[in-house]
Chains A and B, each alone.
Chain A
Amino acid sequence: AQSVTQPDIHITVSEGASLELRCNYSYGATPYLFWYVQSPGQGLQLLLKYFSGDTLVQGIKGFEAEFKRSQSSFNLRKPSVHWSDAAEYFCAVGADNQGGKLIFGQGTELSVKP
């Protein structure tokens, strides 16, 4: 069965430091991969997505993610974190044979210290 794992429940980084949030997926077909961000008390907003082609994708708010098929990973990165990046981040996977349904990881809560 398909699954998405985010190994880190909570990460704290200093403002200005680099960030990497991990995401591993298990999927038989070619997956479509997404990263969403949820600010406190808000719904989810799409950061970026990968379908095919260049394995490094750019998103909003200075985020990027790299698809590594050999590692079944789609890690999210940002070179320099801002205090406003504190939020919960969700990795999700979709596929054509699943209709529009997505499977979400457990989420990683990011805290940013001054």
Chain B
Amino acid sequence: IAGITQAPTSQILAAGRRMTLRCTQDMRHNAMYWYRQDLGLGLRLIHYSNTAGTTGKGEVPDGYSVSRANTDDFPLTLASAVPSQTSVYFCASSAGTSGRGEQFFGPGTRLTVL
């Protein structure tokens, strides 16, 4: 059982380029999340989806977009990357949307924007 897979593992990107980070889960979880991790700031929520077909904004959504066409996939797109988007990005999922639910995390994508 893979759990959550993310691709690519790492990427160096020129500023202004478009980039899509992929996330796929095989647990049939309803909810999915995208976080960015920055030193000293912990994890901050970018976007989330409570179920297929719906998405919502998190704490730091600017410059990012998401879609949730089906249960398994939750891609994150940077339309025009900027250096401040250099970060490690984690995708996560949970079975439901209760505050009690454990979130399961992917291995992360390390993105560098030059």
Q: Do A and B bind each other?
A: yes
Kindly state whether residue B42 has any CB partner on chain A within 8 Å: yes
Q: Is the CB of A44 within 8 A of B96?
A: no
Q: Is the CB of A90 within 8 A of B42?
A: yes
How many Cβ-Cβ contacts under 8 Å join chain A to chain B? Answer: 71
Q: Is the CB of B50 within 8 A of A100?
A: yes
Q: Which residue of B lies closest to A50 (CB)?
A: B100
Contact residue range for chain B? 20 to 34
Kindly state whether residue B48 has any CB partner on chain A within 8 Å: yes
Q: A3 CB to closest chain B CB, in angstroms?
A: 11
Q: A88 CB to closest chain B CB, in angstroms?
A: 9
Q: A103 CB to closest chain B CB, in angstroms?
A: 8
Q: Is the CB of B102 within 8 A of A44?
A: no
Q: Which residue of A lies closest to B90 (CB)?
A: A43
Q: Is the CB of B31 within 8 A of A105?
A: no
A contact residues around B61 at 8 Å (CB): none
With A90-B43, A106-B40 in contact, is A100–B98 under 8 Å at CB? yes
The interface of chain A, by Cβ under 8 A from chain B, is 4, 6, 9, 32, 34, 36, 41-46, 49, 51, 90, 94-107
The interface of chain B, by Cβ under 8 A from chain A, is 4, 31, 33, 35, 40-45, 48, 50, 58, 90, 92, 94, 96-103, 105-108
27 contacts across the A-B interface (CB closer than 8 A): A6-B42, A9-B40, A32-B100, A34-B102, A42-B108, A43-B4, A43-B105, A43-B108, A44-B103, A44-B105, A51-B100, A94-B100, A96-B99, A96-B100, A97-B99, A99-B48, A99-B50, A99-B99, A100-B31, A100-B96, A100-B97, A102-B103, A104-B35, A104-B42, A104-B43, A104-B44, A106-B41
